Structure 1
Amino acid sequence: MQIQIEAFDLPGHSCATAPGFPGYTGIHVAVQHRDRTKDLLDPQPGGATSATWTLECAATTTPSGVDLKGPYIQGRPEDRFIYLSWGTMDEAGAFTPFRRAKLMIDAIDPATAEAATRSGLLLARLRLTDAKGQPLCAAVRPPLIEWIAGQTG
């Protein structure tokens, strides 16, 4: 099965200093690997129009619903999530993280999860700029993210 994350409205290459936010430049966002926090999937510039990541995962039906596992899926059963890691990237390509968004898989409607298991594709759509104009962070659940069963091919 695949999970496709479709992000839009990224915050920009730079975000100014604000209360509780020191401000950054050279902003990028990527999906963080489960066991290797420095292993990032396809870092995208914060000034991009949109960003898309495709993750391979395994879906298992359990008595409590669908359980998703894969190299980019974090957490224990019934508390799974995907980290989008925000950081700065210097000219040499070194990524220095400063915050994360936690895409909560437990917030997926059970019927959507089951339909995605049958179709082979789960879509996640979200905007990556928060209400303050900064990179989206913390736990992300609907209505901030839309989970949709898709169709492959």
Structure 2
Amino acid sequence: MRIRLEGHDLPGQRAGERAHALRLAGVHVGVQRKASAELLVPAWAPSAVWELEVTAREVDGLLDVGGPWVHGRPGARFLYVTWGNLSGDTFAMFRRAKLMFGDVPTATLRAAYEGALLVGSLGLTDEHGDPVCARVRPAWSVA
């Protein structure tokens, strides 16, 4: 199953001290694959787009996703969008956002399972101007 995450409103794009501090600290955002953040994008980029492949199977009439990008136990699977400071080749994670597959409308997830592209659109800045974290609910659709 193919997934495209489309991140907009990155915190380093904004004006002000917080955005400036993110740029100075080399803050990047990526998607967590197993224990490491990959596909890193600077926090000051105009947008972030990640393309992922996950596995999916039907279990007792329900869809279960898996693979190295997917975390959590059956029935509570999710993706992590991970924030950290990048210095050379070292990424020091300091914050994550959790995107729950349970928040994807059933018909949308089913369409992706049957071959459509699952698209999640999400803002990457919270109400305080910081990198978004905790549970995030993207707008899910298929393309």
Aligned partners of 1:129 and 1:108: how far apart in 2? Answer: 21
Query: Sequence identity of aligned pairs in percent?
Result: 41
Aligned partners of 1:15 and 1:124: how far apart in 2? Answer: 29
Shift of 1:33: 1.2
Shift of 1:64: 5.2
In the other structure, the counterpart of 2:117 is: 121
Matched letter for residue 11 of structure 2 = P
TM-score, normalised with respect to structure 1? 0.83
Shift of 1:110: 0.7
Aligned partners of 1:15 and 1:82: how far apart in 2? Answer: 30
Aligned partners of 1:147 and 1:5: how far apart in 2? Answer: 9
Aligned partners of 2:129 and 2:61: how far apart in 1? Answer: 37
TM-score, normalised with respect to structure 2? 0.88
Shift of 1:7: 0.5
CA contact (8 A) 2:80 2:99 kept: yes
In the other structure, the counterpart of 1:48 is: 45
- Report 1:138-153 matches (<5 A): 138-141=134-137, 145-150=138-143
Residue 97 (str. 1) matches residue 68 (str. 2): no
In the other structure, the counterpart of 2:84 is: 87
Residue 6 (str. 1) matches residue 3 (str. 2): no
CA contact (8 A) 2:18 2:129 kept: no
Aligned-pair Cα RMSD in Å? 1.9
Per-residue CA deviations over 1:72-122 (Å, capped at 9, x if unaligned) read 1100111000011100112x2311111100111111111111111112421
CA contact (8 A) 1:11 1:133 kept: yes
* Greater fraction of residues in helix: 2
Aligned residues: 138
Structure 2 residue ranges without an equivalent (≥5): none
Aligned partners of 1:72 and 1:104: how far apart in 2? Answer: 12
Aligned partners of 1:60 and 1:9: how far apart in 2? Answer: 33
Per-residue CA deviations over 1:13-47 (Å, capped at 9, x if unaligned) read 79639xxxxx652110011112xx2x222110000
Residue 109 (str. 1) matches residue 105 (str. 2): yes
